[in-house]
Amino acid sequence: MVAFKSVSTPEMSTLSQIRLTALSRLAPEVADFLEGGAGDEGTLTANRAAFSRWGFRQRVMSGLDVPDLSTSLLGTDLAMPVLTSPFGADGLFHPDGQKAVARAALAAGIALVVPEAGTHSLEDVVQAAPKAARIAQLHPMGPEQNFLRMLRRIEDAGCQAICLTVDCPTGGWRERVLRNAFDLDARFVGGNYPDDGQTRLIEVFGQLFERSAVVWSWERLASLMAHTHLPWIAKGIMTADDALAAEAAGAAAVYVSNHGGRQLDGVPAALDALVEVARAVDGRLPVLFDSGVRRGADVVKALALGADVVVIGRLAAYGLTAGGQAGVERVLSLLHDEIRTVLTLLGHGGVRDLGPGALVRLDGTDTPM
């Protein structure tokens, strides 16, 4: 029997209400920065629509106990198959930013992905929650010596893995940002580089903001990642070919994502790409997934379609804005309880035994699995 936790305020009662609460507290241009996507925002819309094409094949009288949500990723135990994403500029949403997210992740028994372009340094986030499980994000761009220097910092910080965001050689064409003339202050993304004249920010994120890029290759990336003992995840994979290329380059996991529709408008919904990528790696590598997730039922659908872990970005940012650490904890608690409820009603004993048999297409097409 699911025992829902008491709700202290109406503003934090549901995930959709937390979103509304968060957006009401942000300046319009910051809300647009958080909510917006690239181009005409077709991919942003498609990410959500993809979930509605799948329904559940409910089985009753299963005789099962309370579902087990626990799992693991690259040797790290998780209380549920959820991570928080490396959303940067986190100080826009709450002064504590990722420090609050780290404390909430620790309380929930999950891991967070610490952004390179964060308001607070990796070391400060670690100090805020030393026992939290953490993965550090890094952008494969810019001068190699600076990339390698950050690899050393990630190792010294005791991170369990590295998440390489491979789909950002330049920033997406985000018209809400252009329309608002929104100039993101470097202090909100420069926490990792406060003492070097923001050299890395200019060399790396200057490429994003100025839209000029030198795109790395898988071969170059593989040669540099040979300098660390930590496993690494390739984030931004949307095709079978790139999944296999990441595997060949040494990736320990692949991460299906279209950056929440914020990078290249017109690419398929991430949920549709998940099926292709999961089939390509065929269980050899763990598969992470994000883009379009707004509730626990979405998490269950992504797991059934091949994801091992689902990563939340905007949901975590909404919680952070609405209530700091407590807001993120509330988001994670609501996700946990909804996932458990859905699994109970599906007749499934846990997240590890989910497969495409738990779903049915609602649009009349054949299941692609």
Q: What is the DSSP string of 53-101?
A: TEEE---------S-B--EEETTEEESSSEEE-----GGGT-TTTHHHH
Phi-psi region of 276 (alpha: psi -120 to 50; beta: other; left: phi over 0): alpha
Where does 151-247 show beta strands of DSSP type E? 161-165, 232-237
Q: How many CB atoms lie within 10 A of CB 60?
A: 7
Domain 17-90+117-231+251-256 -> CATH class: alpha beta
CA 251 to chain centre: 17
Element (H or E) spanning 37, and its range? none
Q: Which residues are catalytic?
A: 259
User: What pLDDT, on a 0 to 100 scale, did the predictor assign at position 185?
Assistant: 84
Quote the pLDDT of residue 278. Answer: 97
Q: How far apart are the C-alpha atoms of 302 and 321, rounded to whole Å?
A: 26
Query: CB under 8 Å, gap of 24 or more: what pairs does 103-106 form?
Result: 103/128, 103/129, 103/132, 103/325, 104/319, 104/325, 104/326, 104/328, 104/329, 104/332, 105/129, 105/132, 105/133, 105/134, 105/328, 105/332, 106/131, 106/132, 106/133
Rg, C-alpha atoms of the chain:
19
Residue 6's pLDDT is what? 44
pLDDT values of the chain reduced to their tens digit, one per residue, 369 residues: 333 444 468 888 999 999 999 999 999 999 999 999 999 999 999 999 999 999 999 888 887 888 999 999 999 999 999 999 999 999 999 999 999 999 999 999 999 999 999 999 999 999 999 999 999 999 998 788 889 999 999 999 999 999 999 998 878 889 999 999 988 888 898 899 876 545 555 555 555 555 445 678 999 999 999 999 999 999 999 999 999 999 999 999 999 999 999 999 999 999 999 999 999 999 999 999 999 999 999 999 999 999 999 999 999 999 999 999 999 999 999 999 999 999 999 998 889 889 999 999 998 776 544
For 284-329, write each residue's pLDDT tens digit: 999 999 999 999 999 999 999 999 999 999 999 999 999 999 999 9
Residue 6 gets which letter from DSSP?
Answer: P
Position 3 scores a pLDDT of: 39
Residue 184 is predicted with a pLDDT of 83
Q: What is the pLDDT of residues 162-206, one digit of tens each?
A: 999 999 887 888 999 999 998 888 889 889 987 654 555 555 555
